[in-house]
Amino acid sequence: MLGSEIGPDSTAEKNMKTPKTIFEARSIVKDFPGQRVLNEVDFDIREGEIHALVGENGAGKSTLIKIFAGIYRPDRGKIFLNGKTVEFSNAWKSQQAGLSFIHQELNIIPHLSVAENIFLGRKKPRNLLRLVTLKKMLAAAKHIPDAISLDVDFRTPISMLTVIQQWKVVINRALAANPRIIFMDEPTASLTYDEVKELFRSIQHLRERGTAIVYVSHRMNEIFEIADRVTVLKDGVKVETASVKDTDMKRLFQMMLGRNLEEIFPEKELPREEVVLQLDRLVTKKFGKEINLTLHKGEILGLTGVVGSGRTELGRSIFGADQKLKGDVYVFGKKVNIQSPQDAISQSIAFVPEERHREGLVLPMSIIHNVTLASFQKFRRWAKFPVFDQKREETHVTKLLGSIDIRSNDLNSAATFLSGGNQQKCVLGKWLTREARIFIFDEPTRGIDIGSRVAIYKLIVELAKQGSGIILISSDLSEILGLSHRILIMDRGEIKHDIPSGQAELATIMKLCLDFNRPDESDESMPKTSAQKEDQ
Amino acid sequence: MKYIIAKYGTIITFIVMVLFFMVFLPPFRSQMNLVNILGQTAILGLFSIALTCPLKVGDIDFSIGATASLCGIAAAMLLLKGIDIHWAIGISLAIGIVIGIFNGVLVGYLNFDSFICTIGTSLLIFGIAMGLTRGQNIFLGSEISDKFGLLGSSNVRGIPIRFLLMTLFAIPIWLFHAYTETGRGIEAIAGNATAARLYGINVNFIKMLSFVLSGLCASAAGVVITSSIMSARAADNLQYILGAMAACFIGASTMRIRQFHIGGTILGVFFTVVATNGFIILMVPSYVTKIVTGTILLIAILLSIVATKFIEK
C-alpha cells in the first residue's frame, strides 16, 4: 500500500515535477438509513494523475463522488484542498473549488445547440443589452482555454452528434470552469472501441494540461491502459490504493469481490441435445437485422456486447415485450407466435429484466403478491372462479422463498423493503412459481452484493441442471465467462461471434465486444491492451 | 407509534370529530340528523367510488360529474316518455357504461393522458346534456314520483334507500378489488404498470374496466340525484368531483398508505359529510363550508404525503 503524501512513482517522470497531493479526503463516513455506505474512507488525488476508482455496484463509489460534488454531506470526515480544510455544503462550492463532474448520462439537453449546452448551468455571455444571444455564446464557446479540438458546428443540436463528440463537448464544458480535478463516471459504458481510444486521447490531453482525472469504471483493461493509480472500494470500505504498475487484473478482481473468481461460479453440467428455443431469422424492430439462435436444454447461453449492441432488445423481443418485425420462434420444436409477454409466459418463457425497480417488481406491493404475480391460476380457491386462496398463496411463497434463502420476517410487507439481492431473488421466485422452462436474464446481478450474486449464480446453474434453457445477457464478462456454456457476442443488432466458453478468455472476449471494425475471423489475435499489461 | 399515527390517523381524527359533535352539538346526535347523514353519503359515496376505480390504476376521471348529469337527464326523459322505471334506470346505467368504455378505450388502449382526456370527454358529455335539455330543468311530475322518488328520498327501517344503493356498489367493487385476480392485477398496475405488463397482466383491458366501473357508478349517482330532487339539468357537478377527490385522498392516507381503496374512500366520504353537517349545524355560513371542503381536500393530500414519510422512516 502506498502512503498518500510520499509518492516517487511513474507520473513524476511525465510531469517533470514531484506530484503533490492536491486533494485529500480523510475518514469519510456516510450513513444512509439502516446502513453505512462509506466507512472511514480515505482518498487522495495528486496533481495531474489519472486515478481510477473501482468497486462493485453498491461499493460506495457514487456516494463518495456525490460527497465530493457537494450533493451529499459526509457524516464524518474531512476534505482538504491543497492542505486546507474545505466543506462542500452544496454543488456550487464544490465547483468553485475547482472540481468538475461528468456523469454517465452527460447531463446534456438534446435539442439545444452545442454552444448552449456548453453554457448550461453557468454564467452566460451577454450582449450590450444584457441579453443572452447565441452569437455571443458561439464566440465564447470557441475560446475555452486548452479545449479539446472539436470539429463540429456549434449551432447543431447536441443530439445530432455522436456519443464521443458529445463527450468532448461535455469535457470542454467542464474545462470552461478551469477545473483542477475532473471526475468521470463510467465514461466508456456506451462507447465503441475506437471511441474509447479517442476518449483516452482526450484524457491524456487533460493530464498534460495538469488536470487530475478521477476515472470510475468497471472495465479492468481500461484501468491498466490509462490510470496511474487505482483505489478499490468494497462494501463502503477502501480496500487499497495501489499504483497500477504494481498490480494486475486478477488481484484487482480479488480486491473488488473479496474472494477468488473460482469460488464464485458453481460447477455446471453439460447441456443436452434437445433444443428448447430456436429463433429463425428473427428481426427486431430497432435494428432490422436477422438473428438465428438455438438454445438447448440445460444450456446457459451468454449474450454480451457493448451497451447498445442489441442484447437487451433481442431478449425483450423473444419475450414479446418489444415488437418483432418478422422471423419464426420455435419453443420445444413447436412454432409459436409470441406477440406479448402474456403469450411468452404461456409458452413457459421467463424474463428477468435489466431494471429491477422499474420493470422487475411492483415495489409497493407485498412480497407474496409479487411472487404470485405471474401465476394467478395456481392459487385459485375454486377452479372456475378467479378468486384467490390466500392461505395457499402464503404457504407456497413462504416455502419457496425459504428454499432460495430470502430472509424476511414479514412476507406481507412491501417489496421495497428487501435488499437488492433479495429483490432479484423475489423476481426469480415469480418465475419459479410459474415453472418456466426458458429463462432470459438481463443483467441479473447488476447492483447486487457479492453474497446474493453467488446465490443467484447457483440458482441459474441449478435451473440449467434441471433442464431449463437459459439466455444470460450481461456486460459483466466474468459472469459471462463463469456461467456460460456458449458465448454470443452481439454488435449493432447482429450476433457476430459464437464461442464455446472453454476456449474463451476474458481479454479475448473483451476485445471482441469492443472492436467491431475487425473482420469476424480475428478471434485468435491477442488484443494489444492485455499484451501490454502482461509484460509488466 | 409513528406507524400507528400514519395508518390510523384519519380514523382517529374521524372518531374524535364524531364524538365532539355528539357531545357538544345536541342536534347532531338526533336520530333524524344521523339518518340524514347516511343519506347524504350516498351521492358523494357513489361519486367517490367512481373516482377511486381509475385512481387505483393511476388514472383520473373528471367526466364523472357530466356523466352523472347526462344519465340523470336520460332517466328523467325516459320516465317522462312513459317508459318503465326499471328500463329507464337500466338504460341510464348502460349510458354510463358506454361512456366508461369510451374513456377506457382512449386511456387504456390509445394511451391518452387521462387527465386531459376526461376533461375533454367531460365537456363533450356536458354539451350533449345541454343539447338534450336545451339548458332547461326537466321536472318530474307527481305521476312518476311515487316509485322513482322513493329511490332518492325514502327509508327502509330507518335507513335511506340511496345509502343502501351506495353500499350495493361499494361492497361488490371492494370485494372485486380485494380478492379477485383482476383486483390483484389492478394492485400491480397501481404499483408498477411496466412490471405488471411484463408479468402478463392485461394492463390495457384492466384500465378500460376501471373506467367502465367509474362510468357505471357515476351514472348511478346521476340517477340518485334525479330521484332525490325529482328534476334533472345539465351540470358538471364539479362540487361533487372535488368532494370525491377529498374523500379518495383521505382514503389514501388511511390503513394502506398512498393506495386508493374503497374502504378508505368510504371513510373519506363519511369524514367530509360529517364535517360539513357539523358545520351547518354550527350555523356557519355556506361559504365557510366551501372553504372547509377545500381545506379538507388539501389536508387529505398533505396527510397522504406525511403518512408516506412516516412509513418510509
∠ CA A159-A203-A236, nearest 5°, is: 95
Interface contact flag, A361 B192, Cβ < 8 Å? yes
In chain B, the number of structural domains is 1
Q: What cell numbers appear for A22 in the block?
A: 492536491
- In chain A, which residues have their Cβ closer than 8 Å to the Cβ of B199? 341, 345, 373-374, 430
**Is domain A271-534 classified as CATH 3.20.20.70?**
no
How far is it, in rounded angstroms, from Cα A135 to Cα A124? Answer: 11
C-alpha closest to that of A169 among A76, A232, A101, A106 = A106
Q: Identify the residue among A316, A362, A363 best suited for mutation to test binding to B, counting B beta carbons within 10 A and taking the highest.
A: A362
How far is it, in rounded angstroms, from Cα A452 to Cα A424? Answer: 9
Interface contact flag, B180 A359, Cβ < 8 Å? no
pLDDT one-digit tens code per residue, B150-171:
787 778 888 899 999 999 999 9
Query: What is the CB neighbour count within 10 angstroms for residue A189?
Result: 15
Residues 6+ apart with CB under 8 A from B175: none
How far is it, in rounded angstroms, from Cα B25 to Cα B18? Answer: 10
Domain with B34 in it: 2-312
- Locate the chain A residue with the closest alpha carbon to B259: A364
Which member of B179, B192, B198 has the closest CB to residue A341?
B198
* 3-state SS assignment for residue A327: strand
pLDDT tens track, chain A, 536 positions: 344 444 444 444 444 456 788 899 999 998 877 678 888 999 999 988 999 998 876 778 888 988 998 888 899 899 998 888 888 888 888 888 888 888 877 788 888 888 888 888 777 777 777 777 788 888 888 877 777 778 888 888 888 888 788 888 888 888 888 888 999 887 776 676 677 888 888 888 888 888 899 988 766 777 888 899 999 988 888 888 988 888 887 788 778 877 776 677 788 888 888 889 988 888 888 788 888 899 999 999 999 887 778 888 899 999 988 887 788 889 998 888 888 999 999 999 999 998 888 888 998 888 999 999 988 888 888 888 888 888 888 889 888 888 887 766 678 888 888 877 888 889 999 999 988 899 999 988 877 777 788 888 989 999 999 999 999 998 777 788 888 999 888 888 888 888 887 666 666 766 666 554 433 333 333 333 333 333 33
B155-156 and B159-160 strand pairing: antiparallel
Please, where in chain A does CATH 3.40.50.300 lie? 1-87+221-257, 271-534
Share in percent of chain A as helix, strand, coil (round to 5): 35, 25, 40
Interface contact flag, A359 B198, Cβ < 8 Å? yes
Interface contact flag, A387 B201, Cβ < 8 Å? no
- Specify the residue for cell string 379518495: B248
Q: What cell numbers appear for B231 in the block?
A: 328534476
Q: Residue B1 — very low, low, confident or very high, per pLDDT cuts 50/70/90?
A: low
Interface confidence (ipTM) of the complex: 0.83
Burial readout A258-286 (b: 16 or more C-beta within 10 A, e: otherwise): eeeeeebbeebeebeeebbbbbeebbbeb
CATH number of the domain to which B227 belongs = 1.10.3470
Query: What pLDDT sits at residue B2?
Result: 63
Query: What pLDDT sits at residue B211?
Result: 97
Mean pLDDT of the B98-108 span: 95
Q: Given this structure, which CATH class describes domain A1-87+221-257?
A: alpha beta
Give the Å distances, CA to CA, from B122 to A224, B65, B73, B96, B190: 64, 8, 15, 12, 24
pTM of the model: 0.76
B191 close to A (CB below 8 A): yes
Query: What pLDDT sits at residue A51?
Result: 93
Q: Identify the residue among A365, A380, A426 best suited for mutation to test binding to B, counting B beta carbons within 10 A and taking the highest.
A: A365
B197 close to A (CB below 8 A): yes
Interface contact flag, A361 B179, Cβ < 8 Å? no
How far is it, in rounded angstroms, from Cα A31 to Cα A135? Answer: 47
* Contact of A170 with A106, CB cutoff 8 Å: yes
Q: Residue A310: left if φ>0, alpha if ψ -120 to 50, beta else—which one?
A: left
Q: How far is A340 from chain B (nearest CA, A)?
A: 8
How far is it, in rounded angstroms, from Cα B64 to Cα B126? Answer: 10
**Sign of the alpha-carbon dihedral angle for B209, B215, B221, B226:** negative
Q: What cell numbers appear for A514 in the block?
A: 469492443
Q: What cell numbers appear for A438 in the block?
A: 426458458
Strand partners, A530: none
Interface contact flag, A33 B191, Cβ < 8 Å? no
A255 close to B (CB below 8 A): no
Give the burial class of A403: count Cβ atoms within 10 A of its Cβ; 0-12 exposed, 13-18 middle, 19 or more buried.
Answer: exposed
> A366: which DSSP letter?
B
* Cα torsion through A204, A208, A211, A213, rounded to 10: 20
Q: H-helix or E-strand containing A528? A: helix A528-534
> Where is pLDDT greater, at B195 or B289?
B195
